[in-house]
Amino acid sequence: MVSALKKNPDWKGRKGPLVLVIMDGVGYGQYKEGDAVANADMRHFRSLEASCPATKLKAHGTAVGLPSDEDMGNSEVGHNAIGCGRVFAQGAKLVSASIETGAMFQGTVWQELISQVKNRGSTLHFLGLFSDGNVHSHIDHLKAMLKRARNEGVKKARIHILLDGRDVGSQSALDYILPFEDFLKNLSTEGFDYRIASGGGRQYITMDRYGANWDMVKRGWDCHVRGIGRKFASAEEAVLTYRKENPQVIDQDIHEFVIHDETGPIGTINDGDALIFFNFRGDRALEITRAFEEENFTFFDRGKKPDVYYAGMMQYDGDLGIPAKYLVSPPAIDRTVGEFLANSGVKSLAISETQKFGHVTYFYNGNRADKFSEELEDYIEIKSDRVPFEERPWMKCAEITDKVISAIESGTYQFIRLNFPNGDMVGHTGVYQAVICGMEAMDLQIGRLAKAVEKAGGILILTADHGNSDDMFEHDKKTKAVLFDKDGQPKAKTSHSLNPVPCIIYDPGFQGEYDMHLVSGLGISSLGATCINLLGFVPPEDYDASIVRMIPRGQGSQA
């Protein structure tokens, strides 16, 4: 049981609320060209940045629990870090370690998967995001499992690939498909048969999240399970054909493809088969998992649901027990900021639109779906538009702000956290003009929030979970020059960046309670202790260091 926080004897906090603004995908870029954050008219953000205590925070790699500093941060681990105040080993690192030690293959679930297909002479299927982006999955994990399956005598495997183009290069699919086909050929000897069976872009099939578009999941189900979709002889042929028809199409938007031979689809999922969904991240894995596991499923017509042994790479929702079978246990995150505040009697609000609602609730709370207190916590979800984000780059930032300003004016809440998704969701489209528009739309709302916070006597923290919109063009790694496509346009970069993110504290009522010079060199996990400090409490001793240095009463201001 988490106890209540100790109150700061020297300062009880402001009379108004602490408002934590997570500007999703907004970092400090290292290149002038393609930095939509730097190049947009963000006058409200810049004014606060210039006049308030500010620093930069690490938001990728080991600072958020990923294997190395070459690994980009993402919204899941970013909100985990912000909300739990410490760094936990995350999915990619846990899965890699489980494979390296052999623990995955010694576990009951792996052994049951292998036994099922060997005893029944059936097929072992793998479904997941097909890249080395290391945000939702890693192709090396897939290869390791395929090698192990062959070594254990699994004769037939089928792989259903979801093209990335988001956490990796926007048109890099063949860079993964072609060497992988060679890898499968080396496994498919002596009576073994390992082949790609179906696929499509991650933003078109299968990987929806937060119930935003179940049609995506249906298209994936029909493609992977039933073999319904456009027919091709190979994944390479599918990608080349779609690109010929639309040279500008990026991998994440490629439509479904089903691999056929002279007998029909080569890899439908049937009774007695086993399937591993090899994504380790949970948000875009939950819906397809529910389609496989739920008996009374109502979101679309599945046709005849095959009786398969289904396992996830990890458990994607511990509270709901989804999936029932999984290969690697997720990080056990406890003692989060939300739990401490609830047990300390702090009334709080979490709000975003659909695309990031789960991040300021589920992920922020340490992968917990339920509230810590029904009485002290309110959640508001603004429904996202179901249109391409480049067509509505302002998204729902104004509607989110409307609700937050009402909450501030109500005097009900001591702590409000919100997520503006624009920098990330529009950033992933690769459409630079749209990203600039999204940044400027968000900045208008930052101006509105600052006025409301000042009027209420509160504090505003501007920060982010990772970078994205700060790095929108591909650059040559050696020369740092912008890369151009065949039409002479800068080549779009659709993945997250490795750049640091802002931390700006706007505190109109400041009276010397803390040092105006913020601590540098920290990660976003330090936001946990910072929020607790600014609410008038003492952070837990094992939390990562606060960004603010509190000044005991009587020692004077460090302004």
Beta-strand ranges (E) seen in 278-434 are: 309-314, 326-328, 348-353, 377-382, 415-420
How many helices and strands (H and E) does the chain possess? Answer: 17, 18
* 3-state DSSP assignment of residue 482: strand
Q: Which one is catalytic: 75, 96, 122, 495?
A: 75
Residue count of the chain, please give it: 559
C-alpha span between 552 and 212 (Å, rounded)? 48
C-alpha span between 214 and 54 (Å, rounded)? 41
Provide the token pair at 42: 């963000």
* 3-state DSSP assignment of residue 275: strand
C-alpha span between 143 and 276 (Å, rounded)? 13
Q: Tell me the backbone φ, ψ of residue 379, rounded to 5 degrees.
A: -120, 135
Q: Tell me the backbone φ, ψ of residue 284, rounded to 5 degrees.
A: -95, 10
C-alpha span between 465 and 196 (Å, rounded)? 35
Amino acid letter, 305: K
Q: Which is nearest to 152 in space by CA: 102, 196, 197, 195?
A: 102
Residue 159 pairs in a beta bridge with 126, 196
C-alpha span between 503 and 34 (Å, rounded)? 22
- Catalytic residue flag (residue 75): yes
Provide the token pair at 59: 């938001």
**Spatial contact of 189 and 92, defined as CB atoms under 8 Å apart:** no
Q: Which residues contact 528 (CB under 8 A, 6 or more apart)?
A: 82, 83, 84, 85, 86, 336, 337, 539, 543, 544
**Full DSSP string of 491-522:** PB--S-B---EEEEEE-TT--SSB-SSPPPS-
**Spatial contact of 202 and 168, defined as CB atoms under 8 Å apart:** no
Place of tokens 């000044």: 551
C-alpha span between 403 and 382 (Å, rounded)? 9
Q: Which is nearest to 350 in space by CA: 442, 418, 452, 446?
A: 418
Is residue 444 classed exposed, middle or buried when 0-12, 13-18 and 19+ CB atoms within 10 A define those classes?
Answer: middle
Catalytic residues: 75
